Structure 1
Amino acid sequence: MPDVSLLALANELLLSIADSLDSERSINAFARTNRGLYLLLNDFLYKHNVTKGESSALWWAARCGQGGAAAKSIAQAGNVNVQWNGFLKLRQFGYLTSMDGEARVVDLLKRNRCSYYTPIYLAILSGHESVADLLIENGADIESCLGPWASPL
């Protein structure tokens, strides 16, 4: 019996398989199967995140200082002004990894009655100037209100 490679399938079929998967985690696992699939599916994964994941990759990139990931998300029409409920989304997506970090964020939100974050605010808060510059270049609203107290800058 001849060896059959997954990469022998047409790209359209591979994209259809990825589209049928139920989560970004599953698509990412599929893409990481080999280099060829990664190259084919990486943009698809960012597009999936933009359309079904509320641009969470852009938010993550802003928090972690990942300019390449931010640029890929923006290239797939990622919303540079996506508004996320700060505490709920931080907890939901696992960005609060330590009790100390969680306590600081909760304190900041309570003190300032802040209801949401945008990627630009998170990039600035995290000290990632190059990502903040990228977001501004792509239309991030630097005057957006983060509650009754401040704009991102």
Structure 2
Amino acid sequence: RCVIRDSPYLGCLPMLIQMPIMIALWQAILRTPELQNGRFLWMDLGHPDPYMVMPILAAIFTFIASYIGQLSQAKSSNNAMTKGMTYVMPVFIGVMACSLQSALSLYWVISNLFQAIQTFFLQNPIKYYRELKLKQLQEKERKAKYRKIYKKFGRKIK
């Protein structure tokens, strides 16, 4: 059993890994004229998104990625800090993406979309939940069986 998996700080690890990449991307946008003046779809990559589509998508995909990650870990999903971060981080990223360059918003959208897809296919929270419910049902049936046996022999269950 891995003790690190149960740590409430484990949810911060992906964000800490991304921070140097984000700082480097931000510096590259500020220092490179092609990125400062570049365009992608409707956005000027060096300026905030005028239609606020990317900040909204960044917040939505951040929520989806963290929610799917939370579903695939039973013990961590009961942690109040993990549940709180699932709802606070998308708001934080959405607000930050409103004022930062569109290239960073685009990075958040793509990376969180990829993370959600990867988590869904590798950890498959639907299959995990099904197995968890099956184990709970088997445990409940096992306890009911023991109660029936104890009742038959007249003993009390502790």
TM-score (ref. length: structure 2): 0.23
Higher helix content, 1 or 2: 2
